């Protein structure tokens, strides 16, 4: 009896150590229920923008105005694979030295991660998944590139990360001998949609430069399923576009 109680107590302690609550900093948030997106703004003062912000992400991309958008100059180098399950998504942390330059401004690639279904919609339709590539300039400005993922042929670059994903929240895996290149996850066409937005997770900070590639990339149904085994749904609902202008490369 006594030892059973101890075992039970140990089981609870072990479960807690691996739970997202134990690893996340700040208030615990989720994609559904009482800690879901509709409540993020009320959960903590530092999350208030999630509730009252007027330039929030994700949005439905429609009615985009054709414009002469500056080319995104990619300078992505190989990075040793470092993948973390942070309790909200799978995130590949990128080695220093890769960047994009847009309109003369350089943004360094920090990480990329995935959502299912896609957070950004096009003409009201959400895609199977989206990859978000998060960049930061030296003066602290964020630029995120979104790549919409549709079901189709298997994707080798996506598979390289998915095949080595950590299954426990809080777990990080590093592979010194496996390199990944974010360029391999980009579509061939480099046209994109451009608009202002925010982080799609708390604290939902605004002032983020969003660029969503026009051409989706294919991943297999099996690859989508393997991600959904860990995260069945990790997409914030669509936010009001308000008076934002959406532009698209001509």
Give the residue numbers annotated as catalytic, written as ranges.
88
Residues that bind Zn ion (CB under 5 A): 132
Strand partners, 115: 130
3-state helix, strand, coil in the chain (%, to 5): 25, 35, 40
CB neighbour list of residue 18: distance below 8 Å, 6 or more residues apart: 168, 169, 170, 171
Q: Which is nearer to Zn ion, 93 or 178 (CB)?
A: 93
The structure tokens 């790549």 sit at 147
Q: Is the omega angle on the peptide bond into residue 87 within 30 degrees of 0, that is, cis?
A: no
| Least gap, CB of 169 to Zn ion (angstroms) | 17
User: With b meaning 16 or more CB within 10 Å and e meaning fewer, what string describes 217-231?
Assistant: bebbeebbebbeebb
When CB distances to Zn ion are compared, the closest residue is 132
Q: Which is nearer to Zn ion, 76 or 114 (CB)?
A: 114
| Least gap, CB of 9 to Zn ion (angstroms) | 37
| Least gap, CB of 133 to Zn ion (angstroms) | 9
Q: Which is nearer to Zn ion, 132 or 135 (CB)?
A: 132
| Least gap, CB of 200 to Zn ion (angstroms) | 5
Q: Which is nearer to Zn ion, 132 or 209 (CB)?
A: 132
């Amino acid at each position: 009896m006594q030892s059973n109680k101890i075992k039970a107590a140990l089981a609870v302690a072990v479960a807690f150590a691996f739970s997202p609550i134990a690893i996340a900093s700040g208030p615990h948030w989720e994609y559904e229920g009482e800690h879901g997106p509709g409540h993020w703004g009320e959960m903590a003062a530092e999350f208030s923008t999630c509730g009252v912000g007027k330039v929030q992400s994700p949005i439905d991309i429609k009615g985009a105005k054709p414009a002469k958008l500056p080319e995104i100059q990619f300078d992505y180098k190989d990075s040793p694979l470092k993948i973390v399950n942070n309790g909200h998504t799978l995130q590949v942390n990128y080695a220093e030295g890769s960047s994009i330059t847009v309109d003369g401004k350089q943004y360094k690639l920090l990480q990329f991660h995935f959502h299912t279904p896609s957070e950004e919609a096009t003409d009201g339709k959400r895609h199977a998944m989206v990859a978000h590539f998060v960049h930061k300039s030296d003066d602290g400005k964020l630029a995120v590139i979104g790549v919409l993922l549709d079901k189709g042929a298997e994707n080798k670059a996506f598979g390289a990360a998915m095949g080595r994903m950590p299954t426990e929240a809080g777990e990080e895996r590093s592979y010194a001998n496996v390199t990944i290149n974010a360029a391999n996850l980009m579509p061939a066409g480099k046209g994109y949609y451009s608009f202002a937005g925010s982080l799609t997770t708390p604290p939902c900070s605004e002032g983020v430069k969003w660029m969503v590639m026009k051409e989706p990339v294919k991943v297999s149904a099996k690859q989508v399923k393997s991600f959904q085994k860990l995260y069945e749904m990790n997409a914030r609902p669509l936010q009001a576009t308000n008076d934002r202008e959406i532009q698209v490369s001509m």
